[in-house]
Structure 1
Amino acid sequence: MDRRRFLGAAAVAASGAVALPGIAEVRRGIDAALSGSDAGDLAYLEGAFERHRGGYRGRSPGEVLAEMRGDLDLLRDVLTRPHAAGVRADLARTAAGITGLVAIIQHDRSDQRDAHGWFATAEGAARESGDREMLAWALARHAMVPLNYGAPKAAADLATRARGEAGSKPSAAAALAAAVHARAAASLGDHDSALRSVADARTIAKHLDRTQAADTWFGYPPQKHHVHLSQAFTLLGRTREAYAEQEAALALTRTPSVMTRALLEMDAATCLNVDGDPSAAAGKAAAVWQHLPHAYRNGLVRTRAEALHHALPEAARPHLTEALAS
């Protein structure tokens, strides 16, 4: 190349008049490989899991589910993109958490089939992530679906699997699994197994750190502990212990959630029936139902109220029958 041609080529390169084809795309690709083009979406989804797992906070299940819809769309989109192995594992863990929260809401809304489906999704994501604690949490929460909707044997099996995944280290998942197993065993009439699981839940709960005992759907706070044991002792017919657990749960906060208070009061009504006062039991349950916001009347509280209605003698049913029909 002679000197003039060399200088001309140099001038063109210096002026930028002619760019190499695709050079901008190459730079973006290098940048993405260095920093991760999905970093913003991944960080947002991790924050969404932390935000949503705080519970209802005075909102109805339907309201919370509606708020999560956009995050679910984003999660679906991000999961279809390629990721490095470590990033994919973290994303799978976040997906397990978010889909597990949806399953909890569907459980509370009495959509059993959809709750089972979302929990299956959460369990699959947890397995992909390799996080056994997350898997134990998903299994323990899943166990509450058959537990609360008439299949205690299935609940006991899921809770047992959750205990196995949780291992020996004290965790919210292990405590929840023990408490759910206690309730399932009580429903099955296996009092000895139920009391052993109650003891296990109490022991684990005493050793939880602040994070594990946080008042979220992912934690096992003291109030939740007492709510579970209230139901276990109610099912066992041990009303003195059940009343004590109800009082302990209500004493932990001035403003328990609508659902928490309603479930505890339904337990108290059931205890009245066990103690031989079915009229008072029906009256208390009817009063709880009549003061319940309509958004909470088609889920778990109705299931608990209907179980009491079935257990009442025929003569004591009309008052509660009328309330449930309203």
Structure 2
Amino acid sequence: MEGTRPLSAQIPHHLLADPSFLHAVQRRDFSAVFATAHRSGISFNRIGEACGMKPERASKVARGEATVTALDTVECVADGLRIPGVLFGLAARPWEDSSPTPHAEPQDGDDHMNRRQLLRGTLAVGLTTPALAALTDTRQSMDLALAADLDLVDLADLEAAAETYGYGYHGQAPSRVLADLATDFAGLQPYLDTPQSVSNRARICRTAGQMAGMIAIVLHDMGARKEARQWFATGSKAARESGDRQLLAWVLAREAMVPINYGAPRSAARLAEQARQAAGDRPTAAATLAAAVAARAYALCHQPDDARRAVRAADALMERLDSAARADTWLTHGEQKHHVHLSHAFTALGDTQRAYESQQRALELSAPTSTMTRSLLTIDAAMCFHHGGDTEQACRRTIAVLESLPVPYRSGLVHRRAQDLYRLIPARHHQEAAVGELRDLLAV
């Protein structure tokens, strides 16, 4: 105890990874917060003392017979129960950067694990304001580190982690992958505490660029466009500082996919061309990706000649890629990914025959766990049905995709692509049953 400050009644760490408890905290439902704390073994006497109120009032709050509304009381609850301020919509509390309380678990590895649990829990509730604030804090901290004269002693584990994340979701919910990625990204910073060689600094910046880019990919897939662009900016900064132009080209090409999927194809074309310039003429994964993304952007801009030139360039580069560059990861450019891009480009061009060929090949190469990729390819195929005059079949196929998806996949990119199909349907078809079902499903 410091002065007259009450002792904390720290909640168990597992509650910070419990979506129902976090949802209660974010809604400032103090009845549920106090009741959960009490069920976890904390007496109302301790809750009251820690939160600056009488035990009788703490008990009444837990039963819903009293409320907590004053800001200073909310702050007392955050401090007393050791709940991070961001979850209540507050600034970080003074104790969050201090040593563990007497009730905390052992210190070794604690900060890293607690950060992971906190991010997993907040993201499990959804891309809420607290969850995005926690991600922003992680990104901004790295921005500051990138501007400082810092370096890394041993990058092997972090480089291996980045490589592992590059293999994608593997059936995991995007929110879980995002939480784990952000946690390991933050884990880069402790290594940036002493000056090291130029080569070591290049390695840490390269790893930071890869991880920031992959965080942006997941945020993009979840529908958080603004936050994705901010993380791509951090990735670009890290890539430039690393001196790795292929990494810079990869980040820019990946960033171009955000405006492609959110209705700004001209902006996407500019970014894709920047990526192509950074990558140069060598047959690299980044150069091939940049050309394929440029093809999609030009097709959506109704510039078919530029789109087809970009397709030819992408195909020519793809034929020359070595086996390492063809691996099926986020950081490389495998055949499956190549046909996913071409599927979208040919669909936008109205070249249904070549679109079907790319869709079929991409599906053959997609793992059964590639839920999002398979969904996007199916919606591309549905758009081809619409271009061919069968709007009802297009709607039926898209409805089937949306209804079959697990909840974490129904928003974000898949939802946006389904909306793109609906917007293509002329108003004269809007009274048709299948079109109406698709509209209602998208509204839900």
Give the TM bin, normalised by the shorter chain.
Answer: 0.7 to 0.9
Counterpart of 2:188 in 1: which secondary structure?
helix
1:1-326 alignment to 2 at 5 Å?
39-40=153-154, 42-253=155-366, 255=368, 257-313=370-426, 314-316=430-432, 317-326=435-444
Counterpart Cα distance in 1 of 2:417 and 2:431: 20
CA RMSD of aligned residues (A): 1.4
1:141-183 Cα shifts (integer Å, max 9, x gaps): 1111111111111110010011111111101111110011000
Identity %: 47
Counterpart Cα distance in 2 of 1:315 and 1:213: 46
- Residue 309 of structure 1: how far off its partner (Å): 0.9
After alignment, is 148-157 or 68-77 more displaced? 68-77
After alignment, is 215-224 or 75-84 more displaced? 75-84
The one-letter amino acid paired with 2:214 is: L
Counterpart Cα distance in 2 of 1:248 and 1:264: 10
Counterpart Cα distance in 1 of 2:197 and 2:305: 49
- Residue 79 of structure 1: how far off its partner (Å): 3.2
Higher relative contact order (CA 8 A, sep 6+): 1
Work out whether residues 92 and 126 of structure 1, in 8 Å CA contact, stay in contact via their aligned partners in 2: yes
Counterpart Cα distance in 1 of 2:199 and 2:162: 19
Work out whether residues 260 and 268 of structure 2, in 8 Å CA contact, stay in contact via their aligned partners in 1: yes
The one-letter amino acid paired with 1:180 is: V
The one-letter amino acid paired with 1:141 is: R
Change (3 A) 1:112 1:254: closer
The one-letter amino acid paired with 2:325 is: Q
Counterpart Cα distance in 1 of 2:289 and 2:335: 11
Richer in helix (by share): 1
Counterpart Cα distance in 2 of 1:253 and 1:119: 26
- Residue 266 of structure 1: how far off its partner (Å): 0.3
Counterpart of 1:39 in 2: which secondary structure?
coil
Change (3 A) 1:253 1:143: closer
Counterpart of 2:187 in 1: which secondary structure?
helix
List gaps (5 residues or longer) in structure 2: 1-150
- Structure 2 equivalent of residue 26 of structure 1: none
Work out whether residues 152 and 201 of structure 2, in 8 Å CA contact, stay in contact via their aligned partners in 1: no
Change (3 A) 1:116 1:290: same
Structure exhibiting the larger radius of gyration computed from Cα positions: 1
- Structure 2 equivalent of residue 21 of structure 1: none
Counterpart Cα distance in 1 of 2:431 and 2:284: 46
- Residue 319 of structure 1: how far off its partner (Å): 1.6
- Residue 63 of structure 1: how far off its partner (Å): 1.1
Q: Number of residue pairs matched?
A: 289
After alignment, is 259-268 or 75-84 more displaced? 75-84
Change (3 A) 1:83 1:57: same
Counterpart Cα distance in 2 of 1:133 and 1:286: 39
Counterpart Cα distance in 2 of 1:39 and 1:306: 48
Work out whether residues 153 and 188 of structure 1, in 8 Å CA contact, stay in contact via their aligned partners in 2: yes
Work out whether residues 140 and 176 of structure 1, in 8 Å CA contact, stay in contact via their aligned partners in 2: yes
Counterpart of 1:315 in 2: which secondary structure?
coil
TM-score, length basis structure 2: 0.63
- Residue 39 of structure 1: how far off its partner (Å): 3.4
- Residue 315 of structure 1: how far off its partner (Å): 2.9
After alignment, is 70-79 or 230-239 more displaced? 70-79
Work out whether residues 170 and 369 of structure 2, in 8 Å CA contact, stay in contact via their aligned partners in 1: no
List gaps (5 residues or longer) in structure 1: 1-36
Work out whether residues 250 and 256 of structure 1, in 8 Å CA contact, stay in contact via their aligned partners in 2: no
Counterpart Cα distance in 1 of 2:252 and 2:152: 29
- Residue 38 of structure 1: how far off its partner (Å): 5.0
- Residue 254 of structure 1: how far off its partner (Å): 5.4
Counterpart of 2:170 in 1: which secondary structure?
coil
Counterpart Cα distance in 1 of 2:440 and 2:312: 39
TM-score, length basis structure 1: 0.86
After alignment, is 305-314 or 191-200 more displaced? 305-314
